[in-house]
Amino acid sequence: MAGRLFSLLDVAPTIASVLGIDLSKTDGHSIDVVEKWGCRNVVLIIIDSLGYDLYQWLEPQLESIPALARDGLLLRAETVSNHTTPAIATILSGLLPEHHGILDKAGAKESSTISIPEIASASGLKTAVIMEQNGADVYQGLIEITGGIPDSISPEDFDYEVCRMTLQAIAQRPRLLVAYFIGIDKSVHLGRGPKEIKEAAQIIDRCVGKILCAAEEQTLFIICGDHPIHAGGLRRIKGPFAVALILGKSKEQDGE
Ligand SMILES: [Zn+2]
C-alpha cells in the first residue's frame, strides 16, 4: 500500500469487494488491505465537510472515530468535487462526476447511474440508507430500508435524528448501511465558529460510538468526508483538497 494515493473513488469498489458484489464500472480501486479483515457487512458513514485537516484538528476532542482509526486506517483521500451532491454520488458509485453526471439534487433523481446501495439490494443483500430527505427519496422502493430527514431542522436535531434512525435500521441487520451526517457542514453555513463546529463533531462521534456498539461482528466501518470545508473562516482555499477516510472493524463481542 506504500505510496498509493487514495481517493473518494475507492470507497464504492472497496464496499463491493467486501460484500462480494459486482460494481461493473468504476474509476476507483478497492483498498485491498481491508479485504483481509474478514468483514461481511459494511457501515458507510459520510460526514459532510470532514476534510483531512479538519479531522486532524478535531481528533483530540473525539473518542470513537479516533479509536476506530487506531485499530484500522486513517487515510488522506483526494476529493472529486467541492460540492456535496456530486461528491456523494462519487462515494456511492465509484465514478468521477463527469461519468455519473449527478451535479445537483434534481440530477440525482433523474440519473440512471446505479449506485452501490441499489447494486447491493439487487444482489439480495438487505440495504439501508439514512440521509437527508431528497437523497433518501432516490432510494425509496429500490432498497429495503430508507430514512429521510428534512433539511430544514437544526444541525443538532438533524444529526440526532440520523443517529436514531441508523440505530433503528442497524437492529434490522442490514448487510450495507449508509448514514449521512450534516452537522459540521450546516454549522459552517450558519456562520458558527470553531467551538460550535467541535460540538457538532462530538455529537457525530458519540453517535458513531453507539453505532459501533450496535453493529454485528465482522462489520467494516468506513467513515469519510465529502469535501473539505467550503465556506466560512475554516474554508480550505488551496489544494490539495483531501478528506479523511477512516476504515476499521466493529468490535469483537466478548464470549459468555
Ligand atoms: Zn458537503
Centre of ligand 1 from the C-alpha of residue 255, in Å: 41
Centre of ligand 1 from the C-alpha of residue 249, in Å: 25
Centre of ligand 1 from the C-alpha of residue 44, in Å: 15
Residue 256: pLDDT band with limits 50, 70, 90: very low
What mean pLDDT value characterizes the chain? 93
CA angle 256, 173, 120 (to 5 degrees): 135
Centre of ligand 1 from the C-alpha of residue 10, in Å: 18
Pick from 86, 45, 70, 89: which is nearest to 184 by CA? 45
What is the reported pLDDT for 55? 97
pTM passes above 0.85: yes
Euclidean distance between CA atoms 223 and 64, whole angstroms: 11
- Burial label for 83, CB within 10 Å (0-12, 13-18, 19+), is middle
Centre of ligand 1 from the C-alpha of residue 84, in Å: 4
Euclidean distance between CA atoms 151 and 30, whole angstroms: 32
Residue 242, phi then psi, degrees to nearest 5: -140, 150
Tell me the domain boundaries of the chain. 6-249
Residue range 191-248, pLDDT digits in tens: 999 999 999 999 999 999 999 999 999 999 999 999 998 877 777 777 778 999 999 9
Residue range 2-16, pLDDT digits in tens: 568 999 999 999 999
Q: What is the mean pLDDT of residues 155-181?
A: 98
Centre of ligand 1 from the C-alpha of residue 227, in Å: 6
CB-based neighbours (< 5 A) of ligand 1, an ion: 48, 84, 185, 226
Centre of ligand 1 from the C-alpha of residue 175, in Å: 25
Euclidean distance between CA atoms 208 and 30, whole angstroms: 23
Sheet holding 41-47, edge to edge: 6-7, 73-78, 242-249, 219-225, 41-47, 176-181, 127-132, 145-149
Residue range 41-64, pLDDT digits in tens: 999 999 999 999 999 999 999 999
Max Cα distance, the chain (Å): 53
Identify the CATH class of 6-249: alpha beta
Q: Which residue has the cell 487506531?
A: 70
